[in-house]
Amino acid sequence: MKAIVISEPGKPEVLQLRDVADPEVKDDEVLIRVLATALNRSDTLQRLGLYTPPPGSSPYLGLECSGTIESVGKNVSRWKVGDQVCALLSGGGYAEKVSVPAGQILPIPAGISLKDAAAFPEVSCTVWSTVFMMGRLSAGESFLVHGGSSGIGTFAIQNSDS
């Protein structure tokens, strides 16, 4: 498969599209053919050499993705080949395929395109859980978003305005 590889720590120019080995799929994992991924702060920090993914993670960037399930491990019963899903990743979204534990897979929310769902597991869920579940933002209240130009900030501003 092809993946975006960090050739050396640095600016965006260090990212290179290369042929790499396909990921292995463990018994409790599924293999997703990636349609779309997202850009989070950790990706830029990893590119700069300032963030190390957890042991055993894919070496490639990408903490969330959407796509179609291409194969399932033998312990996985909830998902099947051909399902369109999104997933929270410990890395590996910047590749044509990624293997991920089945418990980190989510269905595509109604009314959301498969492409847009790539930003659902990390960005959307972070904003929703902090602003609405923990913060309980309600109609008529004001809401200050620090770092409003961030990925998290832009999503929070768009979705707290309705």
Q: Which residues bind ligand NAP (CB under 6 A)?
A: 40-41, 44, 122-123, 126, 147, 149-153
For ligand NAP, give the closer residue by CB, 108 or 145: 145
Taking the complex as a whole, the smallest distance from the CB of residue 159 to ligand NAP amounts, in Å, to: 14
Q: Are 107 and 80 in contact (CB under 8 A)?
A: no
> Which residues, at least 6 apart from 33, have a Cβ–Cβ distance to it below 8 Å?
67, 68, 69, 70, 96, 97
Taking the complex as a whole, the smallest distance from the CB of residue 152 to ligand NAP amounts, in Å, to: 3
For ligand NAP, give the closer residue by CB, 71 or 150: 150
Q: Which residue is nearest to ligand NAP (CB)?
A: 150
Taking the complex as a whole, the smallest distance from the CB of residue 149 to ligand NAP amounts, in Å, to: 4
Q: How far apart are CA 85 and CA 31, in angstroms?
A: 11
Taking the complex as a whole, the smallest distance from the CB of residue 48 to ligand NAP amounts, in Å, to: 11
For ligand NAP, give the closer residue by CB, 3 or 123: 123
Q: CA dist 125 to 40, 79, 109, 112, 133, Å? A: 13, 21, 12, 14, 10
Q: Where does residue 67 fall: left (phi above 0), alpha (psi -120 to 50 degrees), or beta otherwise?
A: left
